[in-house]
Structure 1
Amino acid sequence: MENRFSNIFPGLGEEQAIAFLTMPLEQMEDTSDRYIAAAHLVNFPTDRSISALIAAIEDTNPALDHRIARRKAIETLGRLKAERALPYIRACLSEEDSYTVENAVWAIGEIGTTDPAILEAIASVLTRPAQSYRTIIQVLAKLNYQPALERIVAFEQSSEPPIASAAITAASKLTGDQSRAAALMDYLQHPNVNARRGVLQDLMDVEYYPAMSEIAACPVSVVFRLRAIRHLADRGVPSGAIFFDAVEPSLDRTLKDHPAGLKLVHRYDQTPVLEFLLSELYGTDFGRCYLATQTIIEQYPDAAKALLATYEAAGHNDYGAHYHIVKLLGWLRHTPSYDLIVSALQDRRPQFMKSRSAAAIALAQLGDPRAVAELKSCLGLPIWELKYSCLLALTQLGDLSGCEVLKDDEDWLIRTRASRLAQAALTH
């Protein structure tokens, strides 16, 4: 279970959270506290908390604040892997609210079960209209429910790409036929950003190692690509399914993240004005952000002043645009931005973590020897993406001592890459 962002209300104790969850809405100062309590109880895996969450599920009060807290309670029970909650969660599968059904299916998938009655109840939801079919299909495959195969295969032709790719993945897993997963590759360059993001998870689920280089070229946020590559590396290399030689170029290209290394899915009919391109850096579809980045590099080599202006106006506080601006200042080799890029390297805001790696690569592009000390200061941090990026940057800057420091790192991937860089240095 991912714990980094679980305890977001550190002052809220178990007893008070349970009190909020059971308090009548009319007695609450802020009715959203009910939802907060249902989420926060994930930090207390006790019988008391589980009982309170089950009671919240059984409360079918139709008020909106009750309903959203109830959905969250189902999710939290899934995160807690509370087996005794299974009968109560299963009962939610027959409800009309598709969001409640989706959370129930997901929670059962997290808890796990081999009960054919529960599994068939999940599969039967596939025949109902307007459901979250992707989640249902994923859980049926995760729980290896073979009787659902025929019903899942029918969704391979869905007009919604995330559903179709989930069905292909599930069928591949249930049949053990990995050749079916080759059909997923086309979705990596789908115009729909949700299709591109979704298929990365699908490729992880089916552990389709031939996709590694194509994942690196997929125009979505670097966060999604790194997660997929790291997942495949962590499973494929130790098992012998792939060698690190297959991982290294894809990982290097992804962390450097130059748009020339991507297969872009959008095009401009004519070169847009710089103002439009800057606005594109704030979009949620990174495919469009990367197209704007590439166009700025190629058509507006003097764009640094405008980049700094948009950074001051809004980019400093928008984690997507922040990332692209930092990277661009490096690609444009704007040496006066050295201090700004160093501040991005040191930025501790959780949402801006990818900008730290971007800053490492950008500093290497500037070629300022002062950056060596800044980059070395990050080598002891427990952030593998940042350490890897700093290794690449330090190598480009001609300082290979970072390789020696990380040759005994606790992370196998960092150890391997550092050793390779050190070995390459000895041969040159």
Structure 2
Amino acid sequence: MAERFDSLFGWLDEQEAIRVLHSNAATLPNPGLQYVAATRLGAASSPESLNALLAAAAWRGPGINERLTRRKALEALGRRPDPRSVARAVEALSSSDAGAVVSAANSLSRLRAAGQTMDPGQLTDALVGALHGPGTQQRAVIQCLTRLELHGAKAAVEGCINHPDRLLDGAARACLVRQGGPATLLQPVLSRLQDPEAGQRRTAVIDLGLAAQPEHLAAVVRTPTSMPLRALTAFSLARRALANGHAPATVAALLDELCHDDPRRLRLIGQPQPTENTPAGWIQLLLQRDENCQYAAAAGILQQPGASQAVILEHLHRHHHSDYGGHYMLMRLVGLGGHHGRSGWLKQGLAQTAPQYRKSRIAAAVAMGELALTDQQDALQALQDSQEEQLRWAAAMALALLQGQAQASLALRAQALR
């Protein structure tokens, strides 16, 4: 989501961003500033900034900079609820640029979630008209149909079942099940949770969230993909589970398991091993892009003697603490491994407020509960007012651990999801 760039692009003044967007790219020292400006204005609120985005989201020309700027402007309009934002995004669905269609479809989903009213018939026709081109475009269109719960495109979506592009096939299956189709349609999607290809596992987790069948919550929680990705689906499924009458304590226990994120509880695929049994070898495996390798490394590290773990953690902290994924794993390994002497790292992790460290804050909060750091109760209590649902849950879970009420409080904590 574009919000993660807000702090990175905060240096660009709003008025300067508006000027840059209205400028001829040829007159700028760096034409790439235009799509940075578009992203920056997504976080603005003035009428002038909205007008600049609306202009930038119109057709600008076939050049790479023009296309990128338009895509970023369409993406930014998803953060600016206004009837004109809706109209511009619907207009962009007919674009020949697949990237613009993807941005428009994603923004329409966000605008609807923000309460923006739309004409269901007009929107369905526009989305069905965009159901062509590369798989990325068609997947985004089907996801928009699913999120907006538009049921007038069933025949078009059914045509994507068993498509050679499994990403498109999965989106279609999720859409049809969400609209009342047979649950058996999701069997191929569920099998992809154990796919050796990381991308297939990630998209399967997303598809299960869109399908909205709460019985798949446990399978999602235990899939070796990133915790934040699983959390987006898991919290959505948890709310549906509660609405459908599932036992609150059972639902809450699965969310606790998600936040503990113990690699030994995940359904790992195979047994990835480091190239050498040294701190550097384990860290190299831990920092792989494939989460199955990351979690296999974390599980292997936790199986080692405490002294060996400490050496690896020190190496990770000293040389890789600026790696977002590595920092998250550092926080989890400190908590899961019981490394009380490294509690200072947890305090530093919890203090990180940049969007890139959001998952590290969750991991640090949970670890404080695991290590019984009672001196951090006030800091954890303060997180109960956070705008981030997952961080609020992690803090409440940590406080329950500190108070010896982790199990007894499950049903009560589940009420926060309703």
The answer, yes or no, to whether TM exceeds 0.5 is yes
TM-score (norm 1): 0.81
**d(CA) in 2 for partners of 1:271, 1:3:** 37
- Mean Cα displacement is larger for which, 81-90 or 248-257? 81-90
| 1:114/1:143 contact within 8 Å kept | no
- Whether 1:310 aligns to 2:312 is no
Could you report, residue by residue, the CA deviation over 1:131-176 in whole angstroms, capped at 9, with x for unpaired residues?
Answer: 5221011122334444532332232323443322211011112345
Q: Hey, what does 2:229 align to over in structure 1?
A: 224
**How is 1:24-423 mapped onto 2 (pairs within 5 angstroms)?**
24-45=24-45, 47-84=47-84, 88-111=88-111, 113-114=118-119, 116=121, 119-129=124-134, 131-178=136-183, 180-181=185-186, 183-237=188-242, 239-268=243-272, 273-274=277-278, 275-299=280-304, 301=306, 302-314=308-320, 316-363=321-368, 366=371, 371-381=373-383, 382-383=385-386, 385-386=390-391, 388-390=393-395, 392-393=397-398, 396=401, 399-400=403-404, 412-413=415-416
Q: Hey, what does 1:419 align to over in structure 2?
A: none
Alpha-carbon distance change, 127 to 2 in structure 1, aligned in 2, over 3 angstroms: closer
**d(CA) in 2 for partners of 1:388, 1:145:** 32
Alpha-carbon distance change, 300 to 72 in structure 1, aligned in 2, over 3 angstroms: same
Q: Hey, what does 2:115 align to over in structure 1?
A: none
Alpha-carbon distance change, 8 to 16 in structure 1, aligned in 2, over 3 angstroms: same
Higher relative contact order (CA 8 A, sep 6+): 2
**d(CA) in 2 for partners of 1:51, 1:360:** 41
TM-score (norm 2): 0.82
| 2:94/2:101 contact within 8 Å kept | yes
**d(CA) in 1 for partners of 2:285, 2:259:** 21
Q: Displacement of 1:313 after TM fit?
A: 1.3
1:191 maps to amino acid: P
**Structure 1 gap ranges (5+):** 417-428
Could you report, residue by residue, the CA deviation over 1:53-104 in whole angstroms, capped at 9, with x for unpaired residues?
Answer: 3332345333332221111122223332443355554444444322122223
**d(CA) in 1 for partners of 2:275, 2:399:** 35
Could you report, residue by residue, the CA deviation over 1:233-258 in whole angstroms, capped at 9, with x for unpaired residues?
Answer: 33442x34433123122112112221
Calculate the aligned-residue CA RMSD, in Å: 3.6
| 1:77/1:85 contact within 8 Å kept | yes
| 2:241/2:251 contact within 8 Å kept | no
Secondary structure of 1:283's counterpart equals: coil
- Mean Cα displacement is larger for which, 253-262 or 299-308? 299-308
| 1:357/1:385 contact within 8 Å kept | yes
